[in-house]
Amino acid sequence: MNITDLTVHELQEKLKNKELTVTEITNAYCDRIKEKEPEVAAFITTYLDEAKEKAKKVEEKIQKKEMTGEFAGIPIGIKDNICMKGTKTTCASKMLENFISPYDATVIENLKEKNIISLGKLNMDEFAMGGSTEYSYFKKTKNPWNLNKVPGGSSGGSAAAVASNMVPWALGTDTGGSIRQPASFCGVVGLKPTYGLVSRYGLVAFASSLDQIGPITKDVQDAAMLLNIIADHDEKDTTSEDIEKKDYTKCLKNDVKGLKIGVPKEFYAEGINKEVKDTLYKSIERYKELGAEVEEFSLDVAKYSLATYYIIACAEASSNLGRFDGIRYTYRTKEYKNLKELYKKSRSEGFGSEVKRRIILGTYVLSSGYYDAYYKKAQQVRTLVMNEFNKAFEKYDVILTPTSPTVSFDIGSKSNNPLEMYLADICTVSVNIAGLPGISIPCGVDSKGMPIGMQLIGNRFKEETILNAAYTFEQDFKFREKYQPKFIK
């Protein structure tokens, strides 16, 4: 048995049956990180020694029966834009290279309550802006399926770490597809919860009205379990909804009979890679065979989502990132003559080019004289997008699309072409615009062996519906048994 091959629910099983101990698990992951991290470069910070210490303590407490708990001692990796007290939270930016958070994000508190052990902070595009993790100030993370290719982004470190078995699961964040797209590129499961289901307190904001924290896991059951831990109303986040706490593993019924699936034709149009499309069509056929009712329909307004997304996301980012000004915990330029120059130079030197591009875009669309034409108009379109999804969910339980128009691409092939990079978000952004839950699961590989992701979109707070749909497909298709990155062997 290879410990790091296992899912979390498999680890739990082994712990319960005393086939494994907490320290064995933690040590196995620490060894795996030492072995594979040099090639994959998924972590910005690791704290393996501390993790081993913690594992030892947890194990002692379990032996003394001072601690029970189904997740005690399970390792995890955290995207580096989520604050953990006393540790660096860099957002993969030079700006925050030395920022040590003075507090825990609510999701970190949730994990600590369960005695889950963090192994480290994972790489990402700077401030979560990008789709390839190439915009990290620190390193370029590789796709474990092909080390010449990107892991996707912005949660590329999280997806690559899970795919390469360096962590059993991880937290990512998703503003326009940043959980789902890297999950799709790395052949793992990524869930973006409904806006308001998971507290954003302690997530360094990129675009406040779009950001959500969510799980990146090896399978759907793990995603449901991690969602159980992090989905909770939080008084510290007024945008978090006060809804009843659910057990998301209960909905995994392995049955889609009668499930109404809508397939929006705009998501299968020009610009979507043929192999991706064909694989999706095959999956749709399989759903039909499993008893789902599938229908094609038009989600016309979706074509405006991308423009709307980049206006709203950049506008909010331009304001959210203002606090990184060289005054307190951020990077500060070495020489300056006055306050204005301190600001200018610190921000010019501390931010990478993509971040600056988006701050400039966002500043522009909020400027007086342009606000109505861009920001206000974008908010109006946002309402239209929501309405159109609402209408669709009157007819369908689930909307099924590709997660990304393509599979993973070569490192360096798009990083100098921002527009092309933005277009890659076409399938995922409307989900954030409408605040809906979306999950990406692997549904095949292309001719070169790179994974292809399928996105299932649900209505607000209908995580259970998409989790069950995803689970049913997964149980039938058995992706993990059929395909594994060569890298793993």
Does residue 79 carry a catalytic annotation? Answer: yes
Q: Name which of 34 and 236 has its Cβ closer to another protein.
A: 236
238 binding another protein? (CB under 8 A): yes
CB of 125 to another protein, least distance (A): 16
Q: Name which of 72 and 361 has its Cβ closer to another protein.
A: 361
Q: Which of 236, 257, 265, 288 binds another protein (CB under 8 A)?
A: 236
Q: For the chain, what is the HEC assignment?
A: CCHHHCCHHHHHHHHHCCCCCHHHHHHHHHHHHHHHHHHHCCEEEECHHHHHHHHHHHHHHHHCCCCCCCCCCCEEEEECCECCCCCECCCCCHHHCCCECCCCCHHHHHHHHCCCEEEEEECCCHHHCCCCCCCCCCCCCCECCECCECCCCCCHHHHHHHHCCCCCEEEEEECCCCCHHHHHHCCCEEEECCCCCECCCCECCCCCCCCEEEEEECCHHHHHHHHHHHECCCCCCCCCCCCCCCCCCCCCCCCCCCCEEEEEHHHHCCCCCHHHHHHHHHHHHHHHHCCCEEEEECCHHHHHHHHHHHHHHHHHHHHHHHHCCCCCCCCCCCCCCCHHHHHHHHHHHHCCHHHHHHHHHHHHHHCCCCCHHHHHHHHHHHHHHHHHHHHHHHHCCEEEEECCCCCCCECCCCCCCHHHHHHCCCCCHHHHHCCCCEEEEEEEECCCCCEEEEEEECCCCCHHHHHHHHHHHHHHHCHHHHCCCHHHC
Q: Name which of 330 and 403 has its Cβ closer to another protein.
A: 330
Nearest CA-CA partner of 428 in 71, 184, 102, 213? 184
Stretch that binds another protein, among 27-35, 259-267, 312-320, 408-416 (CB under 8 A): 312-320
Q: Name which of 38 and 102 has its Cβ closer to another protein.
A: 102
Stretch that binds another protein, among 46-54, 235-243, 431-439, 455-463 (CB under 8 A): 235-243
297 binding another protein? (CB under 8 A): no
44 binding another protein? (CB under 8 A): no
Given the residues 154, 283, 404, 440, select the one marked as catalytic.
154
429 binding another protein? (CB under 8 A): no
343 binding another protein? (CB under 8 A): yes
328 binding another protein? (CB under 8 A): yes
* Cα 127 to chain centroid, rounded: 13
Size of the site for another protein (CB under 8 A): 44
Q: Name which of 209 and 273 has its Cβ closer to another protein.
A: 209
Q: Name which of 269 and 339 has its Cβ closer to another protein.
A: 339
Distance, in Å, from the CA atom of 174 to the CA atom of 136, rounded to the nearest integer, reads 16
Q: Name which of 138 and 195 has its Cβ closer to another protein.
A: 195
Distance, in Å, from the CA atom of 368 to the CA atom of 39, rounded to the nearest integer, reads 48
Q: Name which of 12 and 118 has its Cβ closer to another protein.
A: 118
Q: Name which of 52 and 112 has its Cβ closer to another protein.
A: 112
237 binding another protein? (CB under 8 A): yes
Q: Which of 40, 207, 272, 355 binds another protein (CB under 8 A)?
A: 207
Given the residues 178, 184, 199, 415, select the one marked as catalytic.
178
CB of 54 to another protein, least distance (A): 23
Stretch that binds another protein, among 81-89, 294-302, 441-449, 469-477 (CB under 8 A): 81-89
Distance, in Å, from the CA atom of 356 to the CA atom of 377, rounded to the nearest integer, reads 23
Q: Which of residues 90-149 bind another protein (CB under 8 A)?
A: 91, 96, 99, 101-103, 105
Does residue 178 carry a catalytic annotation? Answer: yes
CB of 207 to another protein, least distance (A): 8
Given the residues 54, 79, 149, 218, select the one marked as catalytic.
79
CB of 341 to another protein, least distance (A): 12
Q: Which of residues 356-415 bind another protein (CB under 8 A)?
A: 363, 366-368, 371, 375
Q: Which two tokens stand for residue 277?
A: 């499309």
CB of 257 to another protein, least distance (A): 39
CB of 179 to another protein, least distance (A): 18
Q: Which of 322, 387, 395, 482 binds another protein (CB under 8 A)?
A: 322
Query: What single-letter amino acid sits at 291?
Result: G
CB of 173 to another protein, least distance (A): 11
Residues that bind another protein (CB under 8 A): 81-83, 89, 91, 96, 99, 101-103, 105, 200-205, 207-209, 235-239, 315-316, 318-319, 322-325, 327-329, 339, 343, 363, 366-368, 371, 375
Residues with a catalytic annotation lie at: 79, 154, 178
